[in-house]
Structure 1
């Protein structure tokens, strides 16, 4: 993300920020008129903690006033976001367990049929890729809008030994990022 510009909805309210130094000037003039300090006392003992903290409420008030004025002016930033890339990676388990026929005709055929239906429902601009996972994960088809190439890759999938689904997800992420 990159901030390119900050703008204000109500920039005329920023003039109210001049109240902050105005309040400081008024406060200092008022304090000069009402406080008499013996320089010898401050030289020997320094200022007490209560004297050092005496200005804290005013400082907090001025900070709060400045934040209130800035927030009331409603700053807005234009953020430059990276362009969105539409891509889907399909991860297909091609381990030996996909030979099982608990789903007719077999798990692998049911999975490939489901993937074909999914691919057909995607808009033509959507890039779709395929990762085959057994003992290792292999990109069978890089993300593409060419549906025929994707179906050819799907037809070329062969069952193998082992299963490393975690590696398949990592390979799929690497292919689209």
Structure 2
């Protein structure tokens, strides 16, 4: 065995194992909830870094969500252990209680869906921006009547509002 391997073993036995015991990693691991995973997700398990007890990344196509579990609230302002994902459906971070595994799984899925839909929504917004007010009104009325009211009305209100307040792609 080389000196590098022996040095790593010494670090493992002298530093890592005492840290794992001090932080109760085995106890925490055995009581963690199972997070529901969709069949089309790719999940990469990562080592615990930056104070998190657990970390993983979820991908589907080009969409990506980073997830970590912070038992000791080293990374955020909570009083109890929590999960955090980034980005959430709004492009921010979202936190979930330790045992909120179903909500965590649903939020990961919603983030992936939002990321996958973003290019379509951006293209739609560019098309809406190019419409006359009369054309926008016709499309909005059609969607409000035909596409699952009242949800469609709310969605299209948001898209139309954003489309008329933001400049078109490529515009100065």
Superposed pair shares fold, TM > 0.5? no
Classify the TM-score, shorter chain: under 0.3
TM-score normalized by structure 1? 0.21
TM-score normalized by structure 2? 0.21
Between structure 1 and structure 2, the one with the greater Rg is: 1
